[in-house]
Amino acid sequence: MSCCNALRTYSRFLRPTQLMTVLNRSFGQPVAQTHPHILKQGEVTPFVTKEEYSQRRHNVFNLALKQFEGSKNVKDHIMIFPSAYKMFMTIPIPYPFRQNTDFSYLSGFQEADSVLVLHNSQKLPVSHRTLSPETGMTSVLFVPRKDTHAELWDGERSGPHGAVEITGVDGAYNSEDLGQFLQQYSEHHANYVIWYDIEGNVHPQLHRAGIEDFILQGRQKCVETTTRSVHRIRVIKSPAEVQLMQKSVDIASESLEEVMKFSYPGVNEAYLEAKMEFECVLRDAQMLAYPPVVAGGNRGNTIHYTRNNQIVPGGDMILMDAGCEYHGFTSDLTRTWPVSGRFSPVQRRLYEMVLRIQLKVISLCTPEFTLEQVYVYMLHLLGEELVSLGLMKKKDKSSNHAEEIRKFYPHHIGHYLGMDVHDTPTMSRHTKLKPGMIIAIEPGVYIPADRTSVPEQYRGIAIRIEDNLLITESQPIVLSDKCVKDPDHIEEMMAAAKS
């Protein structure tokens, strides 16, 4: 029910003072009434409607049911998804809050200290179930209670009524009622399956406040992890999710070009990080997706270099790995460019080599192959190129050739990308790519300054070119094709920026 329809329906039964309470209801996250520049009516989060959230919950629940199809005496399933909790730099200063991804994917609810429960009980008191016709599934949220004092300091909360109105779940209660709800569940059932990510330790406090007892003292048949089921659904993006991902990648692509144009010999890496964040937020991203790598020269050989505090002299290249988060969806790009605006002959030789490899491996990102196969192919191409440049010996029996190549390329060719940067990590890289998947592909070459086995002119260079791709039935769509990577185009763009 849309909020307006809901109001119309409620208003017939409410006294004027009660109606004012509904109209004045405050929410702990943007909704269409308060943030019309972000959300449309019917959307829980930008682009994603209540119907889509409901569909996600049903998909995950159905997948869980399917795994027990053969087990005749197992009928009842209960899935428990805790939210993230607030973390503090120092009391009372919180780190920026990021919601737990699986919880966010299934509810869209943005407050900490909440829990989503999905179940198909027919035995709980009627007040605890609103059976959906397809699966008999009920979705319930437990959320922080309304609290005038806490809200004065930390901002509004939605409370249980607001949570139902925002998300469209079947019911909602205060978080502290979770323990009692679970106890009631175990009193009414036996031989059920608890779906819960025990190992993830997602919310230790809520775990201790009811979930732990439910598991230790319950009459369940078994406890199964939730993550695999959710990731199997999450890995394929819906049309709305593709739109969100394209926007996230567009913002990062345009912003990264602005950073390249802004860079100059003698620039501090920290300025480039700040410039990236500024440009992304100006384009409506909420934040950077991860601490970016902004590495001048040899520092690019430290794969996770994030100190970003050195001066980049003319003559060095900058390797920048950065992306943004747009309403929960992340981009993940890398570009490498000469800070002076012109590649040296050696830099260009290596850069063109990586680009040749990148274009070849992108063309392999089709449903015929897995990420692992693309990786193996990439190592083979890199080996051939390095041998022809004289940086490696030809394959022979005296050395482990693959091991030697990996010294020039110590990480994987790519990963799934979505709400998390390394998205759906329980999905194997041995899975065939499928239309609707989004991946990051990031070939490169790394030659540390102390690699004395190669001629001196090649030492201290690190290059990576990372793009984000949407898998289709045929060739992938390069979502980041707006971000320059041809070396001539990079030089032209930088020259134009300086003129």
What is the nearest approach in angstroms of Mn ion to the Cβ of residue 440? Answer: 4
Write the CA distances from 247 to 45, 82, 319, integer angstroms: 15, 28, 23
Ranges within 450-469 binding ligand GLY (CB under 6 A): 466
> Which of 257, 273, 316, 442 is close enough to bind ligand GLY by CB under 6 A?
442
Residue 440 in the binding site for Mn ion (CB under 5 A): yes
Ranges within 441-470 binding Mn ion (CB under 5 A): 466
Residue 273 contact among ligand GLY, Mn ion, none, beta carbon within 5 to 8 Å by kind: none
One-letter amino acid for residue 217 of the chain: Q
Q: Give whichever of 288 and 392 is closer to Mn ion, judged by the CB atom.
A: 288
Ranges within 332-351 binding ligand GLY (CB under 6 A): 332
Ranges within 315-374 binding Mn ion (CB under 5 A): 321, 332
What is the nearest approach in angstroms of ligand GLY to the Cβ of residue 304? Answer: 8
Q: Give whichever of 112 and 333 is closer to ligand GLY, judged by the CB atom.
A: 333
Q: Give whichever of 163 and 322 is closer to ligand GLY, judged by the CB atom.
A: 322
What is the nearest approach in angstroms of ligand GLY to the Cβ of residue 303? Answer: 9
> Strand 324-326's sheet: what is its strand order?
287-288, 324-326, 329-330
One-letter amino acid for residue 169 of the chain: V
For residue 144, cis peptide bond before it (omega within 30 degrees of 0): no
Q: 396: exposed, middle or buried (C-beta count within 10 Å: 0-12, 13-18, 19+)?
A: exposed
What is the nearest approach in angstroms of Mn ion to the Cβ of residue 332? Answer: 4
Q: Give whichever of 52 and 332 is closer to Mn ion, judged by the CB atom.
A: 332
Residue 290 contact among ligand GLY, Mn ion, none, beta carbon within 5 to 8 Å by kind: ligand GLY
Beta strands in 339-482 (DSSP E): 414-416, 438-441, 444-447, 461-464, 467-470, 477-478
Q: Which residue is nearest to ligand GLY (CB)?
A: 321
Decide: 353 and 442 in contact? Cβ < 8 Å: no
Containing 326, the helix (H) or strand (E) segment is strand 324-326
> Which of 421, 427, 454, 497 is close enough to bind ligand GLY by CB under 6 A?
421
Distance CA(292)–CA(280), nearest Å, equals 13
Q: Give whichever of 440 and 494 is closer to Mn ion, judged by the CB atom.
A: 440
What is the nearest approach in angstroms of ligand GLY to the Cβ of residue 423? Answer: 10
Q: Give whichever of 164 and 285 is closer to ligand GLY, judged by the CB atom.
A: 285
Helix, strand, coil tally for the chain in percent (to 5): 40, 20, 40
| Secondary structure class of 113 (helix, strand, coil) | coil
Distance CA(218)–CA(186), nearest Å, equals 6
| Secondary structure class of 173 (helix, strand, coil) | strand
Pattern 271-290, ligand GLY, x by CB under 6 A? -------------------x
Q: Give whichever of 242 and 421 is closer to ligand GLY, judged by the CB atom.
A: 421
**DSSP string covering 10-61, please?**
HHTT--HHHHHHHHT---SS--TTT-TTT--TTEEETTEEHHHHHHHHHHHH
Ranges within 422-441 binding ligand GLY (CB under 6 A): 440
What is the nearest approach in angstroms of ligand GLY to the Cβ of residue 321? Answer: 5
What is the nearest approach in angstroms of Mn ion to the Cβ of residue 321? Answer: 4
Write the CA distances from 441 to 18, 355, 363, 416, integer angstroms: 55, 12, 11, 9
Decide: 99 and 113 in contact? Cβ < 8 Å: no
Q: Residues in the site for ligand GLY, rule: CB under 6 A?
A: 290, 321, 332, 415, 421, 440, 442, 466
Kindly list the residues in this chain that would bind Mn ion in the complex (CB under 5 A).
321, 332, 440, 466
